[in-house]
Structure 1
Amino acid sequence: MSPPPAPRPTYRSALRTRPFRRLLAGHGLGTIAQLMLTLAVGIEVLERTGSGWWVSVTVALGFVPYVLASGYAGLLADRHSRSTVLTLSFSTRAGCAAVLVAGLALHGPIALLVTVAAVAAVLATPSYPALAAATVQCVPDEQLPPANALVTGVENVTWMAGPGVLGLLLLIGAGPTVGTATAAGLFVLAAALSAAARLPAPARPDAAPGVLAELRAGLSAVARVAAVRRPMTVAVIDNFLYGYLVVAMVLLAAEVFAGDGGGDGADNRAIGLLNAALSVGGVLALLPINLLAARFRPARLLLVTMTGFGAVTVLLGLSGAIGAPVGLAMGLVAVAGAGSLIAEVTAVTLLQRAAPDELTARVFGVYDQLNVGALALGSLLAGPLAAAIGAGPAMVAVASTCLALAAVATGRLREPARRGRHAAAGPGRASLSPPVGSLGPTG
């Protein structure tokens, strides 16, 4: 008797696994709390010093640790239960938030407040690698696309919700101290949800090779295994182009739509419309992901979506030369946002299927480092390139280059074999991946 067919991948089917639901909710609450904490300290710093430099330092220290420490953070999630790592990340950040509440209430030294906020950011770095690796444990292989779409959607929504929640508190008269206290409460709730997931620790070799050797094993998997390296390369290109687009479309709006209806107000209106279109495109892209994942192989879907992302960004760069209306530019930006999100979800699914079980979190630690760095680099290059050759031509040049690089990276991409990994196998489940020393085909 043949087994019943697997259910069609949907958001509802991905959420049937209770540990995944809890970890996803905890990660969302923790992300909101982390942003509230960072911004609340930045507001306090601005109020007390009036220094934009201090504010920049505060916010930068909230993001730099992701570039520097995510690799080691991934190692922690490969050594211990992913739910335990998430629980410790949330609970220790709750402690930092409590210290900050006291420091804000007592008007502690600015340097101390900024330092504690930076420590909280370091403690946040294991969160995404642990969740990405835990998703593979919690969710059956065929449900990975909608599960990853949920993770990406929750991250996008909570990145917008964090400043919004803090803003609402400020509107009703609460200050940074109340905002930080609220963040502490959210961290506690996130820790409770993660602790309730109770995932088994991943299988590890009997003889642990040491921290440096384990870190090198993660880097080696990224560098040597083609099935890991190529989708990660595409994800880095995707995030670089997205980071570039976020800044470049503002510069393009100021250049192309300047004076279109009257001065600075027209510029601000066009900038607002393009930013809204980018967000709407990303949110709407969550709707067809399940259908696309069911109909197309991930490698082909990644090629198509990255091609679309690059092509519409090229067209957006040409919009100034052809005198395109802002409505057309909004449509192109929305398609670009959708293509970027679908490409990222697809690349993550390919990585989860290709990464060896005992290296999954380390692979995603490297993924986090490279993608945050790519976002920052893309954002930083937009201004100088626009100043040098104009916003439109610069966007065409950057998008064309990214389109060509993504086509090369996806053209040789091969589908990794699907593996039936699931947390239901219990603590004693065997590793289904090759040993660390034999990472499979390279190239």
Structure 2
Amino acid sequence: MSASSTPTHDPYAALRIPDFRRLVSARICLTIATRIQGLVVGWQIFRLTNDPLALGLIGLAEAIPSISVSLYAGHVADSVRRKNIIVVTVAVLGLCALALALLASPAGLPLLSRQAFYTWPLYLVIFVSGIARGFLGPALFSFMPQLLPDRERLANAVTWNSTTYQAAAVLGPAIGGYLITWGVANSYMVAAVLLLVALGQFAAIASRPLPALEGEKPGLQESILSGLRFIWGNQLVLAALSLDLFAVLFGGAVALLPVFAVDILKVGAAGLGHLESAPAIGSVLMAALLTYFPLRRHAGRKLLWAVAGFGVATILFALSDSYELSLFLLFLTGAFDSVSVIVRSTLLHTFTPEHMKGRVSAVNNIFIGSSNEIGSFESGVAARLLGVVNSVVFGGFMTLGVVGLTAVLADKLRKLDMTPAKQEA
């Protein structure tokens, strides 16, 4: 190997690429802004309604449009320059943040007065942001590999992408919890400014042409359905996506954290920010650990044990009445979830052809991205029917059931080995 070549184990290989650094910086600002906005809107709606189901409806209001446009958005991401899609959708998200700030200002507060549908303007803005997010996800996923000069840096780029995302997810809720004390409208304005910064950084990245397509260009219907066929035809990827889908769908307690912060742990807005940040801290540290000790031998078994640990930590969190213990258990849920995120992302980037990454990412968005919001709705409904604590305990046990079922039915995932020799074979 010559002195000028990239070191095999260079932990900063991807970060040495200027456009990748811009992408990472933009995603940090984008993630912090959306996390601030998500926490603040949850706090605002719970204070307006005092109803856990209203928190679940936030997730549903974002998931429905995101799922509805996902397959078409994947087709667009493989048909239109991906940078253009990113710039437009981030601009829309910035306008949504400004709209929320206006609604929370003295001029907009009369719209949120207590009448028949007094929270509908907030849900409407969330609905629009869900459409934007549906188009943004596939474009971002498929644009990132185009910034890399070679596939040797792909695994390093995936790890940095995940680690910086989770680090931003730590900062967002923590900042949001303190910003609420400064005012809801001001909190939304901070999110809008961060989105503007992200927009500028995305705009500074050089545009890339679409990857070359082998054969004839498929029609719209064939293009939209090809992502589904690809996932369905790859049993390993399908099993990993399904495991993550149902674990997030049933096991997530994040949507109900405002209830735990206010009614159970009694720690207020600042405490809510720390509770929201705890899973992301666990994710960051686990991602950093996996950078030096990557999952290779028996990766499938380790993945199953990690998702099982996520379910157990969720159950114990629901039963805890100690703020410190609750923080630690949420930290564990994030650490265990990070294993699943990195394995799934690596499998998707490794097995998906470049010209199909937008469409496959769109299916991934339906499986995973929107399952967070649908899981929030499920949590809200379960909390209304079973009570907040019982609903989270139920979700944790359902997660354990999904792990057991996957271990029995998904033989390829259980035997997954990610050592380089096995992957090449």
- Give the TM interval when normalised to the shorter protein: 0.7 to 0.9
Distance in 2, matches of 1:326 and 1:94, equals 34
Indicate the residue corresponding to 1:171 in structure 2: 181
Instruction: Quote the offset at 1:78 in angstroms.
Output: 1.5
Secondary structure at the counterpart of residue 19 of structure 1 = helix
Distance 1:391 1:68, change over 3 A: closer
- After superposition, the Cα gap between the structure-2 partners of 1:266 and 1:234, relative to the gap in structure 1 and judged at 3 Å, is closer
| Letter of the structure 2 residue corresponding to residue 288 of structure 1 | L
Identity in percent: 22
Structure 2 counterpart SS, 1:412: helix
Separation (CA, whole Å) in 1 of partners of 2:54 and 2:404: 38
Distance 1:400 1:102 in 2: 43
- Per the TM alignment, residue 236 of structure 1 is displaced from its structure 2 partner at its CA by 2.2
Q: Is the 8 A contact 1:237 1:402 kept in 2?
A: yes
Deviations 1:33-71 (A, max 9, x none): 344556666777789xx4557965566424443333333
Change beyond 3 A, Cα 1:138–1:235: farther
Q: What do residues 345-403 of structure 1 show as CA deviations (whole Å, max 9, x unaligned)?
A: 11111111111221112111111111144435555266589779967984674243222
Residue aligned with 1:185, SS: helix
Q: Provide the aligned C-alpha RMSD in A.
A: 4.7
Report what 2:299 is aligned to.
301
Select the structure of larger CA radius of gyration: 1
Is the CA contact 1:247–1:383 (under 8 Å) kept in the aligned structure 2?
A: no
Partner amino acid, structure 1, of 2:17 = T
Residue 15 (1) aligns with residue 34 (2): no
Taking the aligned partners of 2:173 and 2:145, their CA distance within structure 1 comes to: 30
Which of these residues, 213, 220, 226, is aligned with residue 211 of structure 1?
220
Look up the match of 1:187.
Answer: 195
- Please say if residues 306 and 336 of structure 2, whose CA atoms lie closer than 8 Å, have aligned partners that are also in contact: yes
Once residues 319 and 117 of structure 1 are traced to their aligned partners in structure 2, the CA distance between those partners, rounded to angstroms, is: 28
Alpha-carbon separation, structure 1, partners of 2:123 and 2:394: 36
Q: What is the CA distance between 1:90 and its match in structure 2? A: 1.3
Would you say 1:285 and 2:293 are equivalent positions? no
Partners in 2 of 1:13 and 1:287 — Cα distance?
Answer: 15
The yes-or-no answer on 1:371 pairing with 2:368 is yes
SS in 1 for 2:9: coil
Pick which of 336-345 and 278-287 moved more. Answer: 278-287
Give the superposition deviation at 1:333: 5.8
The one-letter code of the counterpart of 1:203 is: A
Kept after mapping to 1: 8 A contact 2:352/2:360: yes
**Cα distance change, pair 5–33 in 1 and its aligned pair in 2 (3 A):** closer
Q: Secondary structure at the match of 2:165?
A: helix
Asked if 2 retains the 8 angstrom alpha-carbon contact of 1:234 and 1:347, the reply is no
Contact 1:248 1:395 in 2 (8 A): no
Q: Give the match for residue 411 of structure 1.
A: 411
Please tell me whether residue 123 in structure 1 is matched to residue 132 in structure 2: yes
Amino acid at match of 2:142: A
2:350 — aligned with what? 353
Structure 1 unaligned blocks of 5 or more: 255-263, 419-443
Pairing 1:378-417 to 2, within 5 Å after superposition: 378=375, 380=378, 383=383, 394=394, 397-408=397-408, 411-413=411-413
Which stretches in structure 2 are left out of the alignment for 5+ residues?
112-119, 421-425
Distance 2:25 2:281 in 1: 22
- Alignment-derived partner of residue 239 in structure 1: 248
TM-score (norm 1): 0.70
Letter in 1 for 2:301: L
